[in-house]
Chain A
């Protein structure tokens, strides 16, 4: 999965690496090209070849790469059928490559940041709450480490940690996700229902033609989710389906890419679709846009740009008028025999955090039905 993660973190790098320049000078909308130009990749490892992944080791952090994330989204309902969406994402971002010197003695020394976004959508109440946390990775207030069974991630009071061991190495370990923000909270256990799916070429996800502009990328496309969600003080026991993406890279984006639309859809027949398309400045879709079709039995197939056509349907304008997103999407694929409409379950699921983007739960209707998550970036004016 490529998406807001790169923009967020590259943006963060630009803002923080600019040294003598005031923050204000980086204000306003940043062109993607500027973001990419600023990234200095020297000193980091790059994703240049098909990885050999070993689990649970690779569920933990990869400190030699600059950027990494653990990304959970899901659609759940309570006993009364009330639907909710949730998102919890932990980013690890290095500000400088390891300098080769002796480790620093200070307990608060760190050259990495942990940025976390959490959001809850109350579909029936048409409410959407989102917050972020940003701290240094000092392993006191915020950290990403490999625990006995899997990744242990925390930032202030938000946490994601294994609630047990994975039943087999090819499955993501069961995780407990907890977060509490202004007007929302969740405490969920997500457990893998399928084997991990390696995205791209056996886990190497090429994002542009330049060697190394790629990430290591795998997903747990179907997890069960059980727990509680609280919105505006009302808690509800919920169950449903969730999704987890794991990705790490040092540089991933190509020049001229201005935004992207990313779909993670779970169909009622047990299949899943990962699809992202990178939009170029000239309005065209980048050739490196791609996806994966995961069948009910857990087998999967790569999808190339020509395999899926995604068309925006209508528009949704942010309340302050500063961003305009597609209102819905139509996804068609002859190869998959797919023709579906992807409709946001609540129109306003825009995260107005450090970087503005839209990410929210969606309903899928058409040749197949289901639910999923959609992320749209690069639409802010």
Chain B
């Protein structure tokens, strides 16, 4: 009997290679998705870790100064401490003479000790140790960075540091991927960085690797006795980095999981099509005496083979897709978290093995249910009708209730737990997927009734679609989910975008902004020169000036330990203060802030550290540690880690990094901008002048770039849904060869057949599109309100579901279904009825 079953299996697939290929395709698509998302994330995460290691290295602590620098005598004192590795760091910004806007970050380290803290950077610096120490302006950079600086063969160039021209000399061009974290960085000796930065007797910070036995408190006290303005802090950067990545990674993984869910339904659909089309054969085998176990084993064997084949194809396709995902992913991460390079995705063995196991396993599981149904049906009934009794193919709707309850509980209690939020959404989506076939059944039955009198062809199209609903139920569920998720992601992004746009409107009330070039993170290292400040403040037609100085200081919350915290030393004009988008605190907060009696926390910081009005904080500022309270919470979308706004009166010696200039009433913004440009042009310091519109435009451009990864995933989701629905529809239509042949013999023309097939698939697509709308709204809402807040602490002020997005959903579904019907329609129309009848 076993031999017979083997031959039966082989002949079945040999006779219908196309159908087998479709099953393989379904599995391949699911696996490809899994591999693409997992491989991309794993590679990104490894690159992230490497970048993190390159930048913060093994440092356990850091010495920082309240004014943003540490005198070098502290370094000398640290050299005599036992169990302490002290690596000074000076960062600077320089501009290539070839590009006014573009800045390059300079990382100044001591090559002799840096290897003990940052092995990668230390090793790179070690390659050119003598050059770095002895060449004025000597630097090491990646080849890409050198190319960007347009160096000639000599490697010598002029750079602008703080408005001064400085000579620079390339010592060594390293491969772009030599050390993560060195992208667009000039690695220089600490002395060169000191000179370029104009900080000859200071360093920015000193990274420390402390032995376990070192008493940090005592060390801190000894150093403070020498230099009261400095502080030894535990290295928070590393923890926060992982924290950041965790939120981001879990978001992406959840999106990947959603896509995998779509894939799983496709695998199920493919296997179901493969098994369900053989009901008569199963009945025949059972009539011949084969027991359910033997048939099951034979089918399982087939499934494993199909699964392996599908996994193999999926692995390759997934790897290719991963290469496509890298760029948007890295762009997003670079915009927000850290600069690192990732050029290719590596496929690790574990993922490959998982994929190779998961494919066959899913295939076997997916074939079990249809097989069990086939085994339960009496063979005689199958012989008579040629298919299974209708009732046996119903989805287990009793699962709905526990799924819905589980989802509700998870979403209600998610809070800042992203995993719970995603879990809740996933359960809800599974429930939706289960209910979709039933909903589709009702919709199609209704359609059939409505069009019953609209002509024989239309009625036939509706009826035949209704009768095929169970065969394509899983694929339609997949399509509904794919389109729904796509719409939901779109809705979330749209809502986010309009919230940000509103916010920008509120926080950019000044007319003209003057700032140092570079990203905000980079600008932490610079300040406006005294010349620039006095020239700008003296401009005619100027009504008010707001000042900004982003930097990092040590701060303690709720009496806890001091940790590195982003702050903006903020000197708002009355108008800017009035329009500050406060979620909590109101005018009392504005008044207190203006008088220097408190700090304002941004929403993500407040969410992360559970800060409310009145929460005690301590901030190390210019005049020692200032203990105060939070007086307001500001809506703020820029920094996902959050930051504090502190009054300028706390930092009397600090110069601002950027200015917001307001024109007098009656004065035009453009006229002011023009005057500012004239003044700035005459200054030695390179500054960027932007109008309100251009700031808003640039901010939204960065925002759009941030969601490039989401777009890529959306695209992938749709692509997979189209492929899946195509394979499912193709299998469905191939199963109906006999039916079509009969129609043809009854007088239907090939054109009729095309219309029939396309009409049927389009109808399924239309209803899938409509079903996807509530799914999209649900996914969008959960992403916008639960997941975003959980991940980043951002509350979106708006949740919008633009009509265009809804139309897009319907068009996506209809378009996918229509496209999926094209090939089967063409094939059916070309089939010779006599041959089709004979083959069946």
Contact = CB atoms under 8 A, between A and B. Distances in A.
A106 B129 CA distance: 17
Nearest to A21: B127
A96 B189 CA distance: 15
Contact of B82 (A19, A113, A136, A157): A157
Interface residues of B, number: 32
Given A105-B194, A108-B194, 13 more contacts: A16-B129, A16-B130, A19-B127, A19-B172, A22-B127, A95-B129, A105-B195, A111-B133, A111-B134, A135-B112, A140-B72, A156-B79, A157-B79
Contact of A136 (B72, B110, B128, B192): B110
B126 A134 contact: no
A108 B72 contact: yes
7 contacts: A96-B133, A105-B195, A106-B194, A109-B191, A135-B112, A136-B110, A157-B80
Interface string A9-23: 000010111111111
Interface in B116-167: 123, 126-131, 133-134, 136
A19 B128 contact: yes
A136 B133 contact: yes
B672 interface: no
B750 to A, nearest CB: 70
B133 to A, nearest CB: 6
Contacts of B190: 106, 108
A107 interface: yes
Contacts of A106: 190-192, 194-195, 200
Contacts of A136: 110, 112, 133
B82 A180 contact: yes
A107 B123 contact: no
B535 to A, nearest CB: 27
Contacts of A48: none
A113 B126 CA distance: 14
Contacts of A18: 127
Interface string B227-263: 0000000000000000000000000000000000000
Contacts of A109: 191, 194-195
Contacts of A101: 136
A303 interface: no
A18 B156 CA distance: 19
A64 interface: no
Interface string A96-122: 100101001111111101000000000
Interface in A148-207: 156-157, 180
Contacts of A17: 130
B79 A141 contact: yes
Given A140-B73, A140-B76, A104 B195 contact: yes
A23 B72 contact: no
A226 interface: no
Interface residues on A, range: 20 to 34
A340 interface: no
Nearest to B199: A106
B201 A107 contact: yes
Interface in B647-700: none
A135 B133 contact: no
Contacts of B201: 107
A4 interface: no
B133 A20 contact: no
A140 B75 contact: yes
Interface string B418-449: 00000000000000000000000000000000
A96 B195 contact: no
A142 interface: yes
B174 to A, nearest CB: 9
Contact of A110 (B82, B133, B203): B133
B337 to A, nearest CB: 30
Interface string A228-245: 000000000000000000
A324 B108 CA distance: 42
A180 B72 CA distance: 23
B134 A107 contact: no
A105 B200 contact: yes
B171 interface: yes
A194 B612 CA distance: 76
Interface in A15-34: 15-23
Given A107-B200, A156-B79, A95 B127 contact: no
Contact of A23 (B88, B127, B191): B127
A140 B191 CA distance: 13
B195 A20 contact: no
B191 A134 contact: no
Interface of A: 13, 15-23, 95-96, 99, 101, 104-111, 113, 134-136, 140-142, 156-157, 180
B113 interface: yes
B75 A19 contact: no
Given A19-B172, A140-B73, A156-B80, A96 B130 contact: yes
Contacts of B80: 156-157
Nearest to A180: B82
Interface in B199-213: 200-201, 203
A18 to B, nearest CB: 8
Given A20-B127, A20-B128, A142-B79, A110 B191 contact: yes
Contacts of B194: 105-109
Contact of A141 (B75, B134, B195): B75
A135 B190 CA distance: 13
Nearest to B192: A106
Interface string B604-633: 000000000000000000000000000000
Contacts of A21: 127
A96 B191 contact: no
Contacts of A135: 79, 112-113
B129 A141 contact: no
Nearest to A159: B80
Nearest to A17: B130
Nearest to B198: A105
Interface string B165-198: 0000001100000000000000000111011000
B191 A95 contact: no
B678 to A, nearest CB: 33
A23 B128 CA distance: 9
Contacts of A96: 130, 133-134
A221 to B, nearest CB: 32
Contacts of B73: 140
B212 to A, nearest CB: 14
Contact of A134 (B76, B112, B127, B133): B112
A336 to B, nearest CB: 44
Contacts of A22: 127
Top 9 closest pairs, chain A to chain B, by CB: A109-B191, A106-B191, A96-B134, A141-B79, A106-B194, A16-B130, A140-B76, A16-B129, A157-B80
Contacts of B110: 108, 136
A140 B126 CA distance: 21
A124 B68 CA distance: 53
Contacts of A142: 79
B127 A108 contact: no
Nearest to B73: A140
Contact of A13 (B75, B130, B192, B195): B130
A110 B73 CA distance: 16
Contacts of B112: 113, 134-136
A110 B129 CA distance: 12
Nearest to A15: B129
B458 to A, nearest CB: 75
B171 A107 contact: no
Interface in B58-84: 72-73, 75-76, 79-82
Contacts of A95: 129-130, 133-134
A23 B123 contact: yes
Contacts of A140: 72-73, 75-76, 79
Contacts of A110: 133, 191
Interface string B751-791: 00000000000000000000000000000000000000000
Nearest to A94: B134
A111 B133 CA distance: 6
